[in-house]
């Protein structure tokens, strides 16, 4: 793109159109580059700066060296269209995106050979990176990361907090304004992304921490089981969870509908067998003492 711009500039400096030609050429250029303006504002700003510079540097038109109107206009239009075509043919997305729906999970192999297991109703954006650059990802939802060590930082953020590692295995859950990190192997650093110099926590294998929006990270209880995270092992780990919260998690994990007839003030801590929705809900019924029935495809707690 830079070489094309330079060729355009050299041609414009050689060609000195008549007084009416620059306006027509500028209009043609703007029409041709309009898709670039809407799809990539940074590239559009570069063209705008080039046009401004060329306008300032354009010499006064003289009768002796005036070029034909048609030739000048065609030169502008041809190069503008060519620039647009080259831009769209060579442009690659800066970010790869992965999304799961209710009841879905997926495994992702990143270009650096790191692996990601993405849980239900989650979204992961992976910014393209070159060798030696920090590897940056944005997560909404939950994922397990197995990071390939290559000397470059591996940074997972959710908008208000970030987890930085070099090579390790850890689980990140980012839902409802809360980010939770659990380290299976290696070491991670957890901090608020909006306050780089603020308090940070360093976690090692078996440790967990959480970060709320506009708050510093705090330590949680250690990982409760070798089968953590439960969503990869057919388990559901609950820590002081309400019945409603447990039902919402089961709904999203298995893409089912669960209703509770009466709210419960009981909180639940424990491990549920959750290879299927039936298993998870029967376990929940035993823990809470609430009767479970199925009504036209909907699970109902009474």
Question: The CATH number of the domain where 294 resides is what?
Answer: 3.55.50.30
In a domain, 227, yes or no: no
Determine the Cα–Cα distance for residues 47 and 56; give it in Å rounded to an integer: 14
If pLDDT is split at 50, 70 and 90, which confidence band does 67 have?
A: very low
- Within a domain: 224: no
> In CATH, what number is assigned to the domain containing residue 182?
2.60.120.1440
Strand ranges inside the chain, DSSP E: 95-99, 106-109, 115-118, 123-127, 135-146, 154-157, 161-165, 169-175, 178-185, 187-192, 200-204, 208-212, 218-219, 235-242, 257-260, 267-273, 292-295, 298-301
Which residue, of 90, 122, 150, is where some domain finishes?
A: 90
Residue 8 predicted with pLDDT over 70: no
pLDDT higher at 45 or 134:
134
Comparison of pLDDT for 65 and 79, the residue scoring more: 79
Q: What CA–CA distance (Å, rounded) separates 145 from 210?
A: 17
Measured CA to CA in angstroms, residue 101 lies from 17, 56, 141, 253 at distances of 58, 54, 11, 9
pLDDT of residue 30: 52
Mean pLDDT, range 216-225, rounded to an integer: 94
User: How large a percentage of the chain has pLDDT more than 70?
Assistant: 68
Would you tell me the crossing angle of helices 41-57 and 21-39 to the nearest 10 degrees? 160
- β-pairing, 257-260 vs 298-301, is parallel
In this structure, the answer to whether residues 155 and 252 fall within a common structural domain is no
Q: What angle do CA 216, 140, 215 make, to 5 degrees?
A: 10
In a domain, 228, yes or no: no
- Residues 171 and 214 placed together within one structural domain of the fold: yes
State which residues form the domain around 259: 234-301
DSSP 208-233: EEEEETTS--EE-PPP--TT-SGGGT
**pLDDT tier for residue 282 given thresholds of 50, 70 and 90:** very high
Percent of the chain as helix, strand, coil, to the nearest 5: 30, 35, 35
**In the block, which residue shows the tokens 């540097």?**
57
- Quickly state the pLDDT bin for 196 (edges 50, 70, 90): low
186 inside domain: yes
Q: What pLDDT is recorded for position 195?
A: 72
Mean pLDDT, range 149-153, rounded to an integer: 91
Q: Residue 66 pLDDT more than 50?
A: no
Residue 62 pLDDT class (50, 70, 90 cuts): very low
Q: What confidence tier does 29 reach under pLDDT thresholds 50, 70, 90?
A: very low
d(CA 264, CA 15): 80
Is residue 229, in this structure, part of any structural domain at all? no
Do residues 241 and 137 share a domain?
Answer: no
Number of domains in the chain: 3
pTM above 0.85, yes or no: no
Lowest mean pLDDT segment, chosen from 46-60, 107-121, 186-200: 46-60
DSSP helix/strand/coil, 129: coil
Q: Is 144 exposed, middle or buried (0-12, 13-18, 19+ CB in 10 A)?
A: buried
User: To the nearest whole number, what is the mean pLDDT of the chain?
Assistant: 79
Structure tokens at 15: 């060609």
């Amino acid at each position: 793109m830079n070489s094309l711009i330079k060729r355009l500039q050299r041609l414009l400096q050689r060609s000195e159109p008549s007084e009416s030609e620059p306006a027509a050429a500028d209009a043609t250029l703007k029409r041709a580059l309009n898709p670039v303006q809407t799809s990539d504002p940074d590239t559009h700003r570069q063209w705008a700066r080039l046009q401004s510079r060329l306008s300032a540097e354009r010499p006064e038109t003289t009768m002796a060296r005036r070029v034909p109107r048609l030739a000048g206009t065609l030169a502008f239009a041809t190069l503008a269209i060519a620039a647009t075509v080259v831009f769209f043919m060579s442009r690659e997305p800066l970010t790869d995106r992965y999304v799961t729906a209710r009841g879905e999970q997926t495994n992702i192999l990143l270009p650096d050979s790191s692996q990601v297991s993405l849980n239900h109703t989650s979204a992961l954006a992976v910014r393209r990176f070159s060798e030696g650059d920090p590897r940056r990802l944005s997560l909404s939802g939950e994922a397990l990361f197995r990071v390939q060590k290559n000397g470059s930082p591996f940074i997972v953020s959710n908008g208000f907090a970030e987890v930085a590692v070099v090579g390790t295995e850890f689980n990140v859950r980012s839902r409802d304004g809360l980010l939770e990190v659990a380290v299976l192997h290696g070491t991670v650093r957890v901090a608020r992304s909006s306050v780089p110099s603020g308090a940070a926590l360093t976690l090692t294998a078996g440790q967990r921490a959480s970060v709320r929006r506009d708050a510093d990270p705090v330590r949680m209880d250690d990982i409760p089981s070798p089968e953590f995270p439960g969503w990869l092992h057919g388990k559901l780990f609950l820590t002081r969870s309400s019945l409603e919260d447990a039902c919402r998690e089961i709904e999203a994990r298995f893409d089912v509908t669960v209703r509770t007839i009466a709210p419960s003030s009981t909180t639940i801590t424990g491990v549920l067998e959750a290879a299927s929705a039936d298993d998870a809900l029967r376990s929940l019924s035993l823990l809470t003492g609430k009767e479970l029935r199925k009504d036209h495809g909907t699970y109902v707690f009474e």
